[in-house]
Amino acid sequence: MIDKEFHVLGLESSCDDTAAAVLRFETSGRAHILSSVVMGQNALHAAYGGVVPEIAARAHSERIDLCVEQAVKLPGLQLKDVDVIAATSGPGLIGGVLSAVMCAKGLAKGLGKPLIGVNHLAGHALTPRLTDDIAFPYLMLLVSGGHCQFLAVKGPNDFSRIGGTIDDAPGEAFDTVARLLGLPQPGGPSVEQWAKTGDPNRFKFPRPLLDRSGCDMSFSGLKTALLRTRDALVDAQGGLYDIDIADICSGFQTAVGDVMAEKLSRAIKEFLAVSPMGQTVAIAGGVAANDYLRGRLAAICSNHHMSFTAPPLALCTDNAAMIAYAGGTLYQLGQVDDQRLSARPRWPLDVAQPALLGGGKKGAKA
């Protein structure tokens, strides 16, 4: 255990947000965010209907040093005042991950500071510890980008998967729905906004896997049903009216909410069966910014007499504060990497279970 105050510089570039942050860790272990800089890329990818890996990688390489400079200067520090360098080293788009890893390795080498590679998913999963100081163990619903998992979080390095998506994650589904309806990316906020004025009962979309036991989820069939609904409307009336878009978005979001709510209820029961002292359910990741889904999940937790917590919206989407926190936590445990740290496009948190999404030459996907 580190018995002195220290500062951690965190770097994040796993998808389309370039970020850097500085956290101060007290001797008690509590951490405070001194700065958090995020440079998004929405404008760069808007014309393509999604993130283009090559464009994202180039933008990261151009911006990562600017983010570092701002993150260090905002709290009035200099690079020499940083004690630990932490960076996302996976999973993610390999070109993007390389930007943070290589920048972190250069800084650590030049400054003579410890280097720590952080699993991006662990950063999200540990965020409630940073924001709300919740105790281990807790149940985490991690809904970040291409990932959606129920995790029993028992420690900084101890994650047990209870269930997850067997195909597309909710974030991917929201992005696809937005593309199908001609809405701006990222799809999550666009679909949520249109759903506010829609009728959730006009279209009967499926609730995949609710007829099966367990906590695994599927959203590919829901997307297919929505595509057919859109095409039928276009064939019948020559296009889509605003009311059609609103009703489709509302019906889709409600279907996702029904699936996630039921699966969360099952996950809570499984979690408490092995961790009866657990009292908290947390949600993190980009989809956690959806107010409707937060409300549905909070209601389920209340029904099970469990506390519910979700980070502030700025810490739900990709950011470097969570990477700095995860890195600082690992540093306190004595875990340090060296210059052989590499970028990993795939890096599951629970390596004891078979991958939900299969594997390949580069290892398990999730």
Domains 6-125+315-332 and 136-314 fall in the same CATH topology:
yes
H/E element holding 154? strand 147-155
Residue 235 burial (C-beta neighbours within 10 Å; 0-12, 13-18, 19+):
exposed
Please give the pLDDT value at position 141.
95
Domain map of the chain by residue range? 6-125+315-332, 136-314
**pLDDT tens digits for range 247-289:** 999 999 999 999 999 999 999 999 999 999 999 999 988 788 8
**pLDDT tens digits for range 10-27:** 999 998 899 999 999 999
Radius of gyration of the chain (CA): 21
Instruction: Give the largest Cα separation in the chain, rounded.
Output: 70
Residue with tokens 């105790």: 135
* Gap between the Cα atoms of 17 and 40, Å rounded: 5
Please give the pLDDT value at position 276.
94
Band the pLDDT of 49: cuts 50, 70, 90: confident
* Gap between the Cα atoms of 366 and 171, Å rounded: 15
For residues 172-186, average pLDDT:
92
**Any idea which fold 6-125+315-332 has?**
Nucleotidyltransferase; domain 5 (3.30.420)
For residues 158-174, average pLDDT:
92
Tell me the CATH number of domain 136-314, given options 3.30.420.40, 1.10.3210.10, 3.40.50.2020, 3.40.50.12780. 3.30.420.40
Residue with tokens 């956290």: 23
Collect all residues with Cβ–Cβ distance below 8 Å to 308 and sequence separation of at least 6.
280, 281, 282, 283, 297, 298, 301, 302
Q: Is the pTM of this model over 0.85?
A: yes
Q: Residue 231's Cα: distance from chain center in Å?
A: 32
| CB environment 292-330: b (16+ within 10 A), e (fewer) | bbbebbbebbeeeebebbbbeeebbbbbbbbbbbbbbbb
